[in-house]
Amino acid sequence: MADLGELPMQRLASGYAELDRVLGGGLVPGSLVLVGGDPGIGKSTLLLQSATAMGRERSVLYVSAEESAQQVKLRWQRLQGCGADLQLLAETDLELVLEELEALKPDVAIIDSIQALHDANLTSAPGSVAQVRECAASLQRLAKRQNTALVLVGHVTKEGVLAGPKVLEHLVDAVLTFEGDRFASHRLLRAVKNRYGATHELGVFEMRGQGLEEVGNPSELFLSGDQASGVATIVACEGTRPLVVDLQALVSTTSYASPRRTATGIAVNRLHQILAVLEKHMGLPLSRYDCYLAVAGGLDVEEPAADLGVAAAVVASYRDLTLPAGTVLLGELGLGGQLRAVPQLELRLQEAARLGFRRAVVPQASGMSAAAAALGLELLEASRITEALVMALGDGLVSQDEAG
């Protein structure tokens, strides 16, 4: 019996390795991909650049429903896209878009955005749930029939993704989200759903004057370079991609009845739990301190493998200690204060070594001695939180008295 999963699947390279990575190897003909993200984050820029790159090899239709042809052309010139063979259509009427799609039968069609299209046969307003759903379904039927890879842009609205990506998630083959901090230049692209690839792969771009540029070595983005108290370095894994990331904590005496806990890039409940473990098992009176925690570069780190790094950052700030340079910390923290193994440890150690880190504090019985030695990493194995932190921060940690 033929295994469907093993049939070779044709993929169209998007022109950007970072985008291909998130797609699972490129666009699949006849598939429907939704790219969501806040307005202004760079969706149009990304897709126009990709369309331009693909236009050099195959037929691509770019439908701009939000900006005039003139606006898109200006942007395109800025992106130095001239010379590529790109069909541009500035149109909001679904009927006319379908006609063009059918006439051109392009390999790839990009609709920017699905919310700006409208079907004149429907009475509801453009951007409404019914319109978005109907327009997407009609486009998909045609695209599937003629094997066009279809990419839809969808805005995420502040009011809770109203008529945007959520409405379409079940219909499309893949949902990519483009995100980033308005105040920082890098942008992260992830797959939150992908029928043709793994989810949680991460693509990294940087917004420059000439558009988006790929960041092949994103770890450099997430290292603050600070050698300050309260900074700890971890290696997070986004899909199969290891990222060396700095965490920074600030612990200060509270002036509130209940202390403040704020976390950026890490779930605040996780922080609560780690603080409770430190209080209980190391005797630190953290309930009398405010605690702020931030992940450098605006990355979201969801995995428990970051626990030990969070704990180290908190304790270092509390003690006003600086972690020795070149040290990464990896480990999940159990409620009993024990350290638990983290997945993909070798991959993480390799990335740390690649970036010049020299020491890694990891959970006991990691089985990594040989691998670490080959990488030139000093491996420090610990079974409990206190042990790990003494290894990382030194004796200054235990020599002070806890009376305070």
- Our CB check for Mg ion shows the closer of 136 and 249 to be 136
Q: Does 210 bind ligand TYD (CB under 6 A)?
A: yes
Q: Does 44 bind ligand TYD (CB under 6 A)?
A: yes
379-393 core/surface letters (b: 16 or more CB in 10 A; e: else): bbbbebbbbbbbbbb
Stretch that binds Mg ion, among 38-46, 274-282, 293-301, 383-391 (CB under 5 A): 38-46
Among 13, 130, 162, 207, binds ligand TYD (CB under 6 A): 207
In the list ligand TYD, Mg ion, none, the entry touching 171 (Cβ below 5 to 8 angstroms by class) is none
Stretch that binds ligand TYD, among 71-79, 136-144, 292-300, 305-313 (CB under 6 A): 71-79
Q: Does 384 bind ligand TYD (CB under 6 A)?
A: no
Among 78, 195, 260, 354, binds ligand TYD (CB under 6 A): 78
In the list ligand TYD, Mg ion, none, the entry touching 369 (Cβ below 5 to 8 angstroms by class) is none
Q: Does 42 bind ligand TYD (CB under 6 A)?
A: yes
Binding residue count for Mg ion, defined by CB under 5 A:
1
Stretch that binds Mg ion, among 16-24, 39-47, 313-321, 364-372 (CB under 5 A): 39-47
Using CB atoms within 10 Å of the CB of residue 185, give its burial: 0 to 12 exposed, 13 to 18 middle, 19+ buried.
middle
Stretch that binds ligand TYD, among 35-43, 98-106, 225-233, 376-384 (CB under 6 A): 35-43
Residues 175-204 close enough to bind ligand TYD by CB under 6 A: none
- Our CB check for ligand TYD shows the closer of 72 and 362 to be 72
- Our CB check for ligand TYD shows the closer of 170 and 182 to be 182
Residues 40-79 close enough to bind Mg ion by CB under 5 A: 44
CB of residue 42 to ligand TYD, shortest distance in Å: 4
**Token pair listed for 147:** 């094997």
HEC assignment per residue over 269-289: HHHHHHHHHHHHHHCCCHHHE
Among 40, 324, 343, 367, binds ligand TYD (CB under 6 A): 40
CB of residue 175 to ligand TYD, shortest distance in Å: 15
CB of residue 114 to Mg ion, shortest distance in Å: 12
- Our CB check for ligand TYD shows the closer of 44 and 366 to be 44
Number of residues assigned to the chain: 404
**Token pair listed for 396:** 């200054």
Among 160, 209, 216, 225, binds ligand TYD (CB under 6 A): 209
Q: Does 68 bind ligand TYD (CB under 6 A)?
A: no
CB of residue 101 to ligand TYD, shortest distance in Å: 21
Per CB under 5 A, residues contacting Mg ion are: 44
Per CB under 6 A, residues contacting ligand TYD are: 37, 39-45, 75, 78-79, 207, 209-211
